[in-house]
Amino acid sequence: MSPVTIGIIGLVVFLVLMFLGLPIPFSMLFVGVVGLTILKTPTAAASMMVGEITTQFSSYAITVAPLFGLMGFIAYYTGIGSNLFRVIDKFIGHWRGGLAIATEVACAGFGAICGSAPATIGTMCAVAYPEMRKNNYSPTIAGPAIASGANLAALIPPSTTFIIYGLACDTSIGDLFIAGIVPGILLTVCFAVLIWVMAKRNPEYAPPSPKAPWPERMHALKHGSVVEVAIIFVLSMGGMFIGLFTPTEAGAIGAFGILVITLVTRKLNFKKFVDSLGASVRLQAMVFILMACATVFSRFLAVSTIPTKVGSYVKVLLENGVPQIGILVMIILIYFIMGMFTDLISMMLLTIPIFHPIVCDVMGYSSLWFGVLIVMMVAIGNITPPVGGGIFMVKGCVPWDKEATVSKMFAGVWYFVIALFISVVLIVAFPSLVTFLVDLMK
């Protein structure tokens, strides 16, 4: 059999193993090692497996992930995200759909120091969801608002998803963080507008809330962790953006900064610190194993020559007059369909070896731009049925609400999918939305 045929069989076997319930990293590792054994030799396959796993786990560059992860989980366990929501709620909660809009803005603010969608969902389900339900918001808007807003943590720096993409594609993590700022703000605005439209069309989903008097607003502002978030963001992200230190050093500064601030403000105790360490270790262990196994699988795909063949085919299509936008739409459609059924980070690592050379080398797009596009498509997959992980996570966080069925939340999720697709269309039509800030800071 030809290498391409073996590669295609490997992809099919991987999908079968995944749907049979074998953990995705081990599915990737098994198919990668067996495929390399067939295409090369057992010795070469074993050597590559050991070498890639050792390299991943001993890489200095990857330490940026656990540092930012620790920063995010300390913020989660000390209630900084909850405080942010309460501040924003006091100022805009009385708008049409205001509590849901406040949730999106709070997710964006919390994402600026967190970078973790699960931590964002956990925080907002603890504070924003009960507040929305107390004000008679329907689960149809309350659940999707949290699940979609958590995706802002993947766009607004420091983003764990950008870290994984940057390591997989050898792209500057610092530049990716900068590139995600404008799309993150754009998506926040799109979410807010679509929530307003949803609440206007279905008033029973989001009845108006009482308007908070100014003394309450000022009190919330004073005790709402706004200053802490600003200090941490300026310390870690600001220093990195102006070139004072690397992304890894920024993670260390951020983790140390939030540790000191939460100790001084007495928000952090020993139990919360231990819980933060444990949650961060569990998450990063999963990420490290996934990246190591995905690297072995990527080597198998490279040896099978599938990426090269697909790139050559796309080049022929372009030379024969097929517009780039047509190929880009096909790639976006593939991500949309895969996102409905596949684990999202695994989907990203699985497709990067195939699509990154096509989009960046053959079609000439920036790797930063493609990274933002992938993160947005991952965000869509995170909330679309039947395997919208964000929706199921929200459901798991609010077991007390018997009205919050998965079917109700999926019914309201399409407004948020529309907002995401509007953002995708805008960055496809205007790629400079992603790259201009990076160019400006250089």
Q: Please report the pLDDT score of residue 213 as a whole number.
A: 86
Integer Cα distance of 436 and 440 in angstroms = 6
Question: At residue 321, what are phi and psi to the nearest 5 degrees?
Answer: 95, 0
Instruction: List the alpha helices (DSSP H) in 202-319.
Output: 214-222, 226-233, 239-241, 247-264, 270-304, 306-319
Distance, in Å, from the CA atom of 41 to the CA atom of 47, rounded to the nearest integer, reads: 10
Between CA 338 and CA 361 the distance in angstroms is: 23
User: Which among 253, 285, 277, 229 is positioned nearest to 73, based on CA atoms?
Assistant: 277
User: Which pLDDT value is given to residue 343?
Assistant: 67
Q: What is the pLDDT along the chain (442 residues), one digit of tens a residue?
A: 788 898 889 888 888 887 787 887 888 889 989 999 998 888 888 888 888 778 777 777 777 778 888 888 888 888 887 788 888 888 888 888 888 999 999 888 888 777 777 778 888 888 889 889 988 899 999 999 999 998 888 888 888 888 889 888 888 888 999 999 999 999 999 999 999 999 888 888 888 878 888 888 888 777 767 777 888 888 888 888 777 888 888 888 888 988 888 898 888 889 999 998 888 888 778 778 888 888 888 888 888 888 878 878 888 888 787 888 888 998 898 888 887 777 667 778 888 888 888 899 888 899 999 999 998 988 888 888 877 788 888 888 888 888 888 888 998 898 999 999 999 999 999 999 999 888 887 6
- Give CA–CA dist 416/239, Å, rounded: 33
Give me the pLDDT at residue 187, please.
93
Query: What was the pLDDT predicted at 191?
Result: 94
pLDDT of residue 224: 67
pLDDT for the residue 388: 75
> Nearest 10 degrees: CA dihedral of 122, 125, 128, 132?
170
CA angle 300, 302, 305 (to 5 degrees): 110
**Residue 207 has what pLDDT?**
85
Size (the chain), residues:
442
